[in-house]
Structure 1
Amino acid sequence: MNPIPELTPQLKQLRLSGMLDSIEARNRQAIEAKMPYTDFLALLIGDEVARREQRKFSLRQRRANFRTTKTLEQFDFDRLPQLNRTLINDLAAGRYLSEAAPILIVGPSGTGKSHLAQALGQCAIRQGVDVVFNTCTQLTTILNAARANGAYQRKLTALARVPLMIIDDFGLKPLRPPADEDLHDLIAERYESTATIVTSNLDFSEWDQAFPANKLLASATLDRLRHNAYCLTLDGQSYRSPKLAPKAQPTSLAKKRKPDED
């Protein structure tokens, strides 16, 4: 008697569809290998756990809102020989997450700041950590829209609780009121509580320029960001540099005339 048709609705009721997806194959495997019942059950439970972990991983990927799928394995360290690769690998292991420490990444456009930030975010997701990626402009726009809807405090609280927030392109556009206050509020709420990665084209000494209207607010925000932060400088050529076209070979439009043609 085949018990699988009878088990199917029960497994669905128990929300064990991971077992349902593999039970026939596992049953054949158990019969062929004369497997003990406990080993057979362990395989089924393992399938269910793997399915749930994959679902969680996929959900975190969607919530992260990454621009593209950038990984540390794809990062070209050879272009940036001065970058501390040992530190990068240490950060990828996730210690900064438990420290609730910021990571600040600066460098010229095209040196891989966003790639590195998203790659570290991917590492965090693999470790079961929720991540949110936004540009600085997108983030302040989200908070401003929440203010207009009367949901500012609720949105601020939700963003402050995200275990890892990646803020890309800080300082690319000046922060005008109320965006400067919104960013300050968010950084203050996350301070020493959750980890934040920030990328910027500005040198560290120039970050106050992002707050043209309020230098006091700039100082208060940046003090919190810089405290216990891991600072990375990416100094190299842009990988977006255009490729030079090969030089055209000179060609003769006219044939050389042979002596006997004169």
Structure 2
Amino acid sequence: MLHHPTLDRLQQLRLTGMARALAAQAQQADIGQLGFEERLGLLLDSEAAERESRQNAARLKRAKLKQSAAPEDVDFRHPRGLDRTLFTRLMASDWVKAHQNVLVCGPTGVGKTFLACALANQACRHGHSVLYVRLPRLLPALALGRHDGSYAKTLAQMARTEVLVIDDWGLAPLTDESRRDLLEIVDDRHGCRSTIITSQLPVPHWHTAIGDPTLADAILDRLVHQAHYLNLDGESLRKKGKPV
């Protein structure tokens, strides 16, 4: 009973993690064996964990990932050429701190988007802002944005995002306007942000796919030199009914 006013006060202060932990402590018969500082430490740990959970949930919501892919759900047994050592190292997200890129290439159905979203999910867990886009939808949206006034806002949002996931790179021919938009995006991020790109095309084919040699040189120079490569092959995971 003595805890009720304290619980109410914690809720009013939005210290819900501490309130929940205090209520749990009240149900523990041996809690009195702990000193004040020990119990306070447990309450603070609970509050910190709850705040981090809420913040991560908010980051994931803003990221708009196509798939709710968790790193622990990645299948390393399927024969698709996934470098487990490299992928595990990428899970530490040091590449984000170093402003490096990750390029995921392979045929359809081998899990490129799932792996990209898993890396993005892990980056969120480490406190980084993330945004997922599909290139076939992004480029028309940017073209429309030139007329409705949202172009600069969209570019600014992508520029300040710490990890930008660009899915389905190279699916369709690019217009000159699209090539220049891509250059704006990668130039804003070069040396200060990280980008994950998925593509069915191997990286050596990207130059031809971009179309204009001069713009292709400029775009790829900003993407490929500070990048980690996940080159996949093998049969589609969809045949086995697995998430890809």
After TM superposition, the score normalised by the length of structure 2 is: 0.88
State how far apart, in whole Å, the 1-side matches of 2:31 and 2:203 are. 64
Residue 74, structure 1, aligned to residue 73, structure 2 = yes
Quote the Cα distance in structure 1 between the aligned partners of 2:68 and 2:201.
25
Question: C-alpha deviations, 1:185-241, integer Å up to 9, x for none?
Answer: 0111001111111010112121124334x3322221111111221122102112234
Counterpart of 2:198 in 1: which secondary structure? strand
Q: What residue number does 1:89 align with?
A: 88
Matches within 5 A, 1:30-179: 32-80=31-79, 82-179=81-178
Please state whether the residue corresponding to 1:69 is helix, strand or coil: coil
The aligned amino acid for 2:230 is: L
Q: Distance in 2 between matches of 1:172 and 1:242?
A: 25
SS in 1 for 2:108: coil
- Residue 196 to residue 43, structure 1, CA distance change in 2 (3 Å): same
1:117–1:166 Cα contact (<8 Å) kept = yes
User: Residue in 2 aligned with 1:224?
Assistant: 222
Asked if the contact 2:80–2:235 (Cα under 8 Å) also holds between the matched residues in 1, the reply is no
Give yes or no for the alignment of 1:238 onto 2:233. Answer: no
1:182-197 superposed matches below 5 A:
182-197=181-196
For residue 104 of structure 2, give the secondary structure of its aligned residue in structure 1.
strand
Give, as a single letter, the amino acid of the residue that structure 1 aligns with 2:112.
K
Superposition deviation, residue 10 in structure 1:
2.8
Q: Give the TM-score taking structure 1 as reference length.
A: 0.83
Bigger relative CO (Cα 8 Å, ≥ 6 apart): 2
**For residue 192 of structure 2, what is the amino acid of its counterpart?**
S
Q: How many residues align?
A: 241
SS of structure 2 residue aligned to 1:20 = helix
Q: Matches of 2:97 and 2:164 in 1, distance apart?
A: 14
Distance 1:134 1:111 in 2: 19
Q: For residue 47 of structure 1, report the CA deviation from its aligned partner.
A: 1.6
Structure 1: distance between partners of 2:146 and 2:25: 54
Deviation at 1:149, TM superposition (A): 2.8
CA distance in 1: counterparts of 2:38 and 2:140, whole angstroms: 54
- CA distance in 2 between counterparts of 1:122 and 1:74 reads 12
In 2: Cα distance, 1:209 partner to 1:41 partner: 62
Q: Which amino acid in the other structure matches residue 229 of structure 2?
A: C
Q: Decide which structure has the larger Cα Rg and report it.
A: 1
Structure 2: runs of 5+ lacking an equivalent:
none
More deviation, 25-34/55-64: 25-34
CA contact (8 A) 1:11 1:20 kept: yes
8 Å contact kept, 2:80–2:110: no
CA distance in 1, matches of 2:182, 2:91: 26
* Distance of 2:30 and 2:238 partners within structure 1: 57
Q: 1:27 touches 1:40 (CA, 8 Å); kept in 2?
A: no
Distance in 1 between residues matched to 2:186 and 2:197, nearest whole Å: 11
Comparing 7-16 and 179-188, the one that deviates more: 7-16
Is 1:204 aligned to residue 198 of structure 2? no
* 3-state SS of 2:197 partner: strand
Contact 2:159 2:189 survives alignment (8 Å): yes
More deviation, 100-109/68-77: 68-77
The answer to whether the 8 Å contact 2:131/2:161 transfers is: yes
**Distance of 1:81 and 1:67 partners within structure 2:** 21
Whole-Å Cα distance in 2 between the matches of residues 4 and 148 of structure 1? Answer: 59
